[in-house]
């Protein structure tokens, strides 16, 4: 009561009169507020979906790195038509594949590069303490952890000494640590990866990767990988750039047109691995400035084309540009959805104005009576403005609750990420109150302009 005494008594009295009028016509007030309810709920839900999509894109950019160019080898090329020239068939051109020499050439020519990270990925298995599970062995350089913003929860990354001699060391993902070393520190312990024992020198911090990112961006589950120095993988495991008797035998069989019999999926993978003549499986190049991404990619394309003797057995991607294009598309989509939700709020405001105008006609005698017993025109204006604002505010509160609930339902059942921000709630609620105030002015003025004598005689 002391708080109410700080305000104008007439203003407080008009507020209580408006509250009584809204409560007396609660069903009509609720129906009037439906437009505001659905409008506010739509604004909150759409902004939550938009924020969730934007957050997911930002997370994907972090996963693929900033300002990156990704070069992937093409293992199995499409067969080209062989042209006949003067009775002789044109032979297919030779390509050495994607090799470490390409990496050195790119580094020596381009001054716009920040980091370069070649990768070799081998499907293998890991064994420790009598537990075995499938895993990927990834041969990398220290630049790999900088490009992808990896942090270690324990241990250290590879040193130059590890890289030069091909030391039998590795860094494991957080999930592998949980699998093999749930209750002990893995640093300094050995794990058998494939046919070799490697000493663990570090453990990666957990990095959450959604299935959407894995499928769209071709990203592995980093938490389940074993990382070893690139030279270690080349020396101790596999170097496809070396000419071996097995490679010569395979080349001879292919040149004679011999067909391999395909079996199950594992045999298909083995056959594909045999056809893979690329020394490295992935090359990530980080550029210093975003503006130089496209020109750098074009120069790299021409360089590789010359080094591979015009055989296009590689593909160049710029994930960040693709993600930014996707983000731009999402922003446009959010603007459209926001406009639709705004139209709903506008329609709700028009509904409030129409109902309040009808309410004026229904309550002409009430208005005349108040004016006759001494109420000012400003009192009548305040009463009807309070009613309009109360309807819109109550509708805004219900809309906020429904919007948050709808956002959670979408996230749970449709598997779409949603992020509800406090600013979206404040924005939608403020718009709802403003709509009630703006669209309540015309009915309030019309009510105040009534002639008391004519109003008392009105039937």
Q: What is the pLDDT of residue 377?
A: 72
Cβ neighbours of 248 (radius 10 Å): 10
Q: What is the pLDDT of residue 422?
A: 82
Provide the pairing of β-strand 169-172 with 88-89: unpaired
How much is the mean pLDDT over the chain? 77
HEC-encoded secondary structure of 240-256: CCCCCHHHHHHHHHHHC
Closest CA to 140 of 93, 173, 184, 174: 173
pLDDT of residue 84 exceeding 60, the answer is: no
pLDDT of residue 83 exceeding 50, the answer is: no
Closest CA to 176 of 116, 124, 133, 118: 133
pLDDT of residue 70 exceeding 80, the answer is: yes
pLDDT of residue 164 exceeding 80, the answer is: yes
**257 or 103, greater pLDDT:** 103
Burial degree of 438 (CB within 10 A; 0-12, 13-18, 19+): middle
pLDDT tens per residue across span 390-426 = 888 888 888 888 888 988 888 788 777 788 878 778 8
Using DSSP's 3-state secondary structure scheme, residue 153 falls into: strand
Closest CA to 344 of 51, 49, 33: 33
pLDDT tens per residue across span 86-136 = 444 555 677 888 899 999 999 888 888 888 999 999 999 999 888 888 889
Confidence of residue 200 (pLDDT cuts 50, 70, 90): very high
For range 288-314, the mean pLDDT: 87
Confidence of residue 81 (pLDDT cuts 50, 70, 90): very low
Confidence of residue 80 (pLDDT cuts 50, 70, 90): very low
Give pTM, 2 decimals: 0.58
Poorest-confidence range of 61-75, 114-128, 176-190, 444-458? 444-458
Q: What is the pLDDT of residue 91?
A: 59
Q: Is 11 left (phi over 0), alpha (psi -120 to 50) or beta?
A: alpha
pLDDT tens per residue across span 210-247 = 555 555 555 667 788 999 999 999 999 988 887 666 65
Proportion of the chain above pLDDT 70, given as a percent: 74
């Amino acid at each position: 009561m002391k708080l109410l005494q700080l305000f104008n008594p007439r203003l407080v009295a008009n507020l209580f009169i408006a509250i009584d009028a809204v409560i007396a016509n609660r069903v009509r007030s609720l129906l009037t507020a439906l437009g505001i309810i659905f409008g506010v709920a739509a604004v909150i839900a759409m902004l939550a979906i938009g924020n969730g999509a934007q957050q997911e894109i930002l997370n994907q950019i972090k996963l693929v790195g900033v300002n990156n160019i990704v070069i992937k080898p093409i293992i199995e090329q499409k067969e080209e038509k062989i042209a006949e020239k003067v009775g002789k068939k044109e032979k297919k051109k030779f390509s050495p594949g994607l090799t470490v020499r390409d990496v050195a050439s790119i580094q020596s020519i381009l001054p716009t590069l920040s980091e370069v990270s070649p990768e070799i990925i081998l499907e293998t298995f890991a064994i420790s303490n009598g537990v075995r599970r499938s895993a990927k062995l990834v041969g990398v350089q220290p630049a790999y952890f900088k490009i992808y913003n990896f942090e270690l929860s324990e241990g250290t990354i590879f040193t130059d000494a590890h890289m030069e001699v091909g030391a039998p060391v590795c860094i494991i993902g957080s999930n592998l640590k949980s699998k093999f070393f749930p209750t002990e520190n893995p640093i300094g312990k050995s794990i058998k990866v494939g046919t070799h024992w490697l000493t663990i020198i570090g453990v990666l911090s957990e990095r959450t990767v959604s299935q959407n990112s894995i499928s769209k961006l071709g990203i592995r589950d980093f938490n389940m990988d074993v990382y070893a120095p690139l030279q270690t993988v080349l020396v101790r495991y596999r170097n496809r750039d070396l000419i071996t008797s097995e490679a010569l035998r395979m080349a001879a069989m292919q040149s004679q047109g011999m067909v391999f019999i395909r079996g199950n999926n594992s045999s298909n993978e083995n056959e594909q691995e045999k056809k893979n003549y690329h020394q490295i499986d992935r090359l990530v190049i980080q550029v210093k400035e975003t503006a130089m991404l496209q020109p750098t990619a074009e120069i790299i394309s021409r360089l590789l084309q010359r080094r591979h003797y015009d055989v296009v057995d590689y593909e160049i991607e710029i994930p960040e540009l693709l993600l930014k294009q996707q983000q731009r598309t999402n922003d446009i989509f959010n603007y459209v959805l926001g406009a639709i939700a705004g139209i709903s709020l506008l329609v709700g405001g028009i509904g409030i104005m129409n109902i309040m105008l009808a309410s004026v006609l229904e309550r002409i005698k009430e208005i005349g009576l108040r004016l006759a017993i001494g109420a000012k025109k400003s009192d009548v204006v305040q009463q009807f403005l309070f009613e309009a604002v109360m309807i819109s505010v109550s509708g805004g509160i219900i809309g906020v609750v429904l919007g948050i609930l709808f956002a959670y339902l979408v996230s749970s059942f449709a598997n779409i990420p949603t992020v509800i921000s406090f600013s979206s709630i404040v924005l939608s609620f403020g718009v709802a109150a403003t709509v009630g105030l703006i669209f309540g002015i015309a009915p309030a003025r019309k009510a105040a302009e009534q002639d008391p004598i004519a109003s008392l005689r009105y039937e």
